[in-house]
C-alpha cells in the first residue's frame, strides 16, 4: 500500500494521554485536532456540534443560491417542495451519526428559512407560531426528519444488516487507564434512541428492533405531520 505523505494527517483524541508520532519515509505526519472525513467533521472531543453547524451553514448557502425562486412570487407549496429537495438534504447529511444534545440549533435554522422565504423581518415582531401558520405548517419538521432518519439507521444496524463491524462499535468497550473526568457523563449516541423510544437499556432496544413491525410503527410516529394544502 502506498501512502501520500502530503495528504495524510494524524488525528488525536482529547482523551488520549500518550503522545503519538508516526513517520513515513522519515517524514513525520502532521497532527491535527479535527479533520473532515466523507463530508463530516471529526473533532478531538468526539462531539458533533461542529458538524451540525457546518451542515446548517452549507444548507444556508444552498438557500441563498436559490433565493430568487424561494423568495420570488411563486406558489407556496412549490417553494416548500424546493426546500425539501435542495436545502433539507444538505442539512440532514450524515445525521444518523449525530448525538443531538440540543434541538434548538436545528429548529432555529428552520425558522430562519421560513422567515427569509416569507420576507419576515425581526423588526416585524412576529412569533414563531404565526410564522408556521403563514407557511401552512403544523410543526417544525426538520428535527423530526432527523429523528426518523436516525431511527431507521439504528434499526438497520442493530439487526445486523450493515455487518458486524458497526455492532462491534456499539457493543464493544475499551479499557482505559486514564481516570474519568469530572462532571455529568456525556450524552451518548444511543441515548437519543432511549429517549425517543422510552426504553432504558440497550438490550430492550435491540429486542424491540428485531420486531420489524413494531419498530416501523415507532418510526412512523417520527414523521412530520401532513402540511395544510394551499387554498
Q: Is the pLDDT of residue 189 over 70?
A: yes
Cell numbers for 119, please give them. 420576507
Contact present, 109 and 62 (Cβ < 8 Å): no
Owner of C-alpha cell 424491540: 208
Worst-scoring range by mean pLDDT, 129-133, 176-180, 199-203?
Answer: 176-180
Which one is predicted more confidently, 147 or 174?
A: 147
Rounded Cα distance, 61 and 87, in Å: 9
Mean pLDDT of the chain: 82
Confidence of residue 201 (pLDDT cuts 50, 70, 90): confident
Rounded Cα distance, 100 and 98, in Å: 6
State pLDDT tens for residues 78-94: 999 999 999 999 999 98
If we measure between CA atoms, which residue out of 9, 13, 7, 8 comes closest to residue 43? 13
State pLDDT tens for residues 6-63: 777 777 666 555 567 777 777 777 777 777 778 888 777 778 888 899 999 999 999 9
State pLDDT tens for residues 137-158: 989 989 999 999 999 988 888 8
State pLDDT tens for residues 90-126: 999 989 889 888 888 999 999 999 999 999 888 888 9
Tell me, what's the pLDDT at 231? 38
Tell me, what's the pLDDT at 107? 93
DSSP string, 80-104: HHHIIIIIHHHHTTTGGG---S-SH
Amino acid at each position: 500500500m502506498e501512502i501520500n505523505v502530503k495528504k495524510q494527517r494524524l488525528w488525536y483524541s482529547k482523551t488520549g494521554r500518550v503522545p503519538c508520532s508516526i513517520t513515513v519515509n522519515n517524514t513525520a505526519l502532521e497532527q491535527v485536532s479535527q479533520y473532515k472525513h466523507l463530508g463530516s467533521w471529526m473533532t478531538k472531543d468526539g462531539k458533533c456540534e461542529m458538524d451540525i453547524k457546518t451542515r446548517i451553514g452549507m444548507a444556508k448557502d444552498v438557500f441563498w443560491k436559490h433565493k430568487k425562486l424561494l423568495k420570488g412570487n411563486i406558489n407556496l407549496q412549490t417553494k416548500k417542495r424546493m426546500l425539501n429537495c435542495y436545502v433539507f438534504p444538505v442539512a440532514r447529511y450524515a445525521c444518523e451519526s449525530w448525538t443531538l444534545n440540543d434541538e434548538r440549533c436545528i429548529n432555529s435554522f428552520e425558522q430562519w428559512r421560513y422567515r427569509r422565504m416569507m420576507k419576515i423581518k425581526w423588526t416585524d415582531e412576529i412569533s414563531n407560531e404565526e410564522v408556521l401558520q403563514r407557511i401552512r405548517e403544523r410543526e417544525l419538521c426538520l428535527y423530526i426528519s432527523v429523528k426518523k432518519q436516525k431511527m431507521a439507521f439504528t434499526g438497520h444496524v442493530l439487526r445486523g444488516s450493515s455487518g458486524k463491524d458497526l455492532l462491534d462499535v456499539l457493543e464493544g468497550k475499551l479499557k482505559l487507564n486514564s481516570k474519568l473526568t469530572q462532571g455529568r457523563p456525556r450524552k451518548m449516541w444511543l441515548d437519543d434512541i432511549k429517549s425517543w423510544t422510552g426504553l432504558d437499556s440497550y438490550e430492550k432496544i435491540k429486542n424491540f428492533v428485531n420486531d420489524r413491525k413494531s419498530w416501523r410503527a415507532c418510526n412512523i410516529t417520527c414523521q412530520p405531520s401532513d402540511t395544510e394544502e394551499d387554498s
